[in-house]
Chains A and B, each alone.
Chain A
Amino acid sequence: MKKKLVVLLLTAAMCGSMLTGCGNSSDTSSGVTSPADSTATDSSSEDAASDATEDKVGGIMYQSGLPIVDEGAYSFSIFVDDSTSTGEFCMLTAFQEQTNVDVELKYYPYETAKERLNLDLNSGDYADVIGGWTLSDSMILQYGVDQGVFIPLEDYFAEYCPNISAILDLPGVREKMTAPDGHIYTIPYVCDDTTVSFSPYINGRWLENVGMSMPTTTEEFEAVLKAFKEQDANGNGNANDEIPFSTDPNNKSLESLAGWFGMPMNKQGLAMIDGEVVYGGTSTAYREFLSWFNSLYEQGLIDTEIFTQDSSTWEGKGNKDLYGVSIAYGSNEFSGIAQKPEKSEFDVLPVLNTENGGIWLRATNGYSVYRTQAVVTDNAKNPEIICRWFDNAFELENGIGCNRGPIDVVVFKEGDGYRAIDTEATMSSEDAEKVSWGNLWPQALPKYVPSGFKYIEDNPLYDEKKAVEVAYEPNLTKEPISSFWVDQDDVEVYSEIYTAVLDYYVQQQALFISGEIDVDDDAQWQSYINGLKALGLEEWLQMRGAVIAE
């Protein structure tokens, strides 16, 4: 009986604390290296006007310049998905010395980070800054616009962050970063990016061995593939082991080839025609492509494992010189050939059928804008310090540090530019490890290096991606697929339909290509279209702002 009473009391206590305790608990335990407990509790003012009367903003932050605060005066926590092999990120240490701001970094690998983040957000125990690949547009809408867990930052940027403001002024950036309610919730991550992402590479040596020239049309390409299959193209004495065509299992991008038939699609099935976003998954051009590709498959010209292998198998086969052509980000990913200053034996396969409307989807305009890489939460005290800290990280030399290596260790100033050294060659492996790319900076967090920045190098590696860009530029769509924000009221329906339609589209594509269903049979093609519509294709496109292409 007594025990029951105790239990009852415990329950009552529990429920009581539940009712009151559900919500924000701003107990950010920083059991790490901060020398003094954060005295930031008394400086909660976010009012920009107050600093006019004091030397320091909010009592602790210097208006401008370094350091940002006095030693031990401020610390904040960052939650990010990443990992490090040495247990530390060297640029973080550098920033600590520059700014006097202590940072407590909580990091987990991507999948465990996602689970951890969910728990943190929903229990109220989240960090001051959340960053990395775990955030998404819908989370910004949900926690930022809707619930106020993520705070708007544009005022801090305007007041304290010259570097970030300059980035926002780049063409199209501010627009992309601004949420539907007019606020900016994230720190921009803008970086150079290639105009072409995944594209086919063809083995030049094989081409020579079969005595053919670079194809310019799909018919010529087909002939080349046939020659690869029938002859001993890789020169190893065995005429039967060649696999003419394959692709990266994690980024198959097969529909990008539909651009050769006039419909340059991305993996969601969207394309850009005359500056408009259209859906190509039901178009005649796409059907033509599928039919042609299926005939290649029936002739044994396509890797039979194209839909089933994982990347290690793909790389394994590529390393054994079994591939004539493969779609990839860069040819070294499957060829096993180390990058050198000279071009490898792989060439860029040009856009085919350009005389007949062949076109390729532009991936970017030279840079990518990531708008879900870092948010500041309402648990943070003095968000202005955090913003300035990031702004400092965007200084040129700091950006270089995060991108390539610390100044005077890996990168050295030379005249107007900077020279980067080869760390593998000149440092001990332990030191080289400390400054390897993954250990410089939690790379999922925003960093910045100005567009077009290049290091002075004696023997720069051959830039294959540049070759692709140059070769494809005349035949790229004018614009990449535009981004958009899902309307908050529609998020639930959107995600269901999007997942279902995408699943179906991907599977039917694989079935058409492998011949399990006949793309040339009108009834089966129509049933495919009906299937898409039944799952909500038209609704999805309406939310997306795209039209169905014929």
Chain B
Amino acid sequence: MEKTILKQKKKIKRCKEDVVFDAILFIVLSVILVVVAYPLYWVIISSISEPASVSGGEVVWRPIGFTLKGYKEVFDNDSVVRGFLNSLFYTFCGVIVNLVVTLPTAYALSRDRFGGKKVVTIFYMITMFFSGGLIPTYLVIKSLSMLNSMWALILPGSLSVYNMIVARTFFKSNISEELYEAAEIDGCTQGQFFFKVALPLSSAIIAILVLYYGVGHWNAYFSALVYISDANKYPLQLVLRNILITNATALAQTATTEAARAALREKQAIIDVMKYSLIIISSIPVMVLYPFIQKHFVKGVMVGSIKG
């Protein structure tokens, strides 16, 4: 009798506290959602509104002065489409290189038994801090005849120390030494283990790396600015940056005659129209990609392997 009452009490206790907890969670997350979503919504409606009313603060809940001029300006531009395709290609190739370089390194560094662990880690840590700078790097790339090629965008920095350390941490927590030892008994080498066991179990971290590296390549413009001289090879972000003259002080410095000021204000007006639509256009691919990535954050990936 007593036992069942106790059990029931426990059950009730769990339900009440959890109900409260769930309710709080719901409220807090909803508030966060609104706080984050509203400005995003605002960006969307601003991209189809008349710029003057946007800066006049009139755009609050709905677009004012509906206009698709921003999108039209962007798509009218051949170089934007070309840049988009270029970026897709660079991102795809870049991520493959990144994975090939990062995953094995991270795995090796996560193994306790690896004698070179400390040396290699420090080797990479140093590059996080010390860099020769733009000029020497440029000269190296030039001497390798990589100027104006995709390789200049992909090979330098192909291993991001930050991402590698994240991957290393993942491997360390999720792929245990015991697992390997069990396989080793059966004659499995590190290589086989890595490809046949570790990688399949690591879809989450692979997904993360694809996301992080992918976004990195997609957003990159500076390397292209430095190494690519053929405008047909420009990635999207560089094309977009060239369209947007974002420096307001340029107006102050350069405009001396009325014609100059008028022309610059005209350019500024075009930028004002395009800037929101550009954000949306350049972020759509990643937004589309994310759900596919997220599928790989699957619960309990590791479970069966050890217990079974």
Contacts and interface: CB of A to CB of B under 8 A. Distances in A.
Partners in one complex: yes
A400 B290 CA distance: 55
Contact of B254 (A85, A133, A192, A403): A133
A333 B265 contact: yes
B143 A192 contact: no
A108 B134 contact: no
Interface in A236-286: 250-251
A39 B267 CA distance: 40
B173 interface: no
A319 B245 contact: no
Interface string A460-476: 00000100000000000
Contacts of B243: 83
Given A108-B242, A122-B135, A330-B258, A443 B143 contact: no
B305 interface: no
Interface string A57-79: 00000000000000000000000
A316 B52 contact: yes
A444 B248 contact: no
A368 B256 contact: yes
Given A21-B143, A112-B241, A116-B226, A443 B263 contact: yes
Interface string B230-250: 100000000001111111111
A119 B138 contact: yes
B55 A17 contact: no
A319 B134 contact: no
Contacts of B244: 109
Main secondary structure of the interface of B (DSSP, over half): helix
A437 interface: yes
Contacts of B255: 329
A191 B257 contact: yes
A309 to B, nearest CB: 10
A83 B242 contact: yes
Interface in B253-303: 253-263, 265-268, 270, 272
A158 interface: no
Contacts of A108: 225, 242
A436 interface: yes
A313 B241 contact: no
B189 interface: no
B143 A316 contact: no
B10 to A, nearest CB: 59
B157 interface: no
B229 interface: yes
A304 B13 CA distance: 57
B55 A123 contact: no
A316 B246 contact: no
A526 to B, nearest CB: 32
Report, as a range, how many residues of chain B touch the other chain. Answer: 35 or more
Contacts, number: 107
Contact of B225 (A17, A112, A329): A112
A55 B194 CA distance: 75
A191 B256 contact: yes
A22 interface: yes
B60 interface: no
Contact of B55 (A109, A116, A316, A436): A316
Given A83-B242, A112-B241, A123-B135, A250 B258 contact: no
A315 interface: yes
Contact of A31 (B139, B230, B246): B230
A343 interface: no
A316 B57 contact: yes
A313 B55 contact: yes
A320 interface: yes
Nearest to B79: A87
B40 interface: no
A193 B52 contact: no
Interface string A465-489: 1000000000000000000000000
A311 interface: yes
A438 B262 CA distance: 10
Interface in B33-82: 51-52, 55-57
A115 interface: yes
A1 B224 CA distance: 35
A14 interface: yes
B15 interface: no
A210 B263 CA distance: 36
A311 B248 contact: yes
A14 B52 CA distance: 55
B251 interface: yes
B175 to A, nearest CB: 27
A352 to B, nearest CB: 25
A26 B52 CA distance: 49
A444 B230 CA distance: 23
A18 B225 CA distance: 23
Contact of B252 (A251, A315, A319): A251
Contacts of B249: 250
Given A14-B140, A21-B143, A123-B139, A438 B263 contact: yes
Contacts of B135: 119, 122-123
Contact of A109 (B57, B245, B251, B268): B245
A110 interface: yes
Contacts of B246: 111
User: Which A-B residue pairs are the 6 nearest by beta carbons?
Assistant: A312-B55, A316-B56, A250-B252, A316-B55, A437-B263, A109-B245
Given A83-B243, A329-B255, A333-B265, 17 more contacts: A18-B136, A18-B143, A22-B139, A85-B270, A108-B225, A109-B241, A110-B250, A116-B226, A119-B134, A125-B142, A310-B248, A311-B251, A316-B52, A329-B261, A336-B52, A437-B260, A438-B263
7 contacts: A17-B143, A112-B241, A116-B226, A125-B142, A251-B252, A312-B55, A443-B260
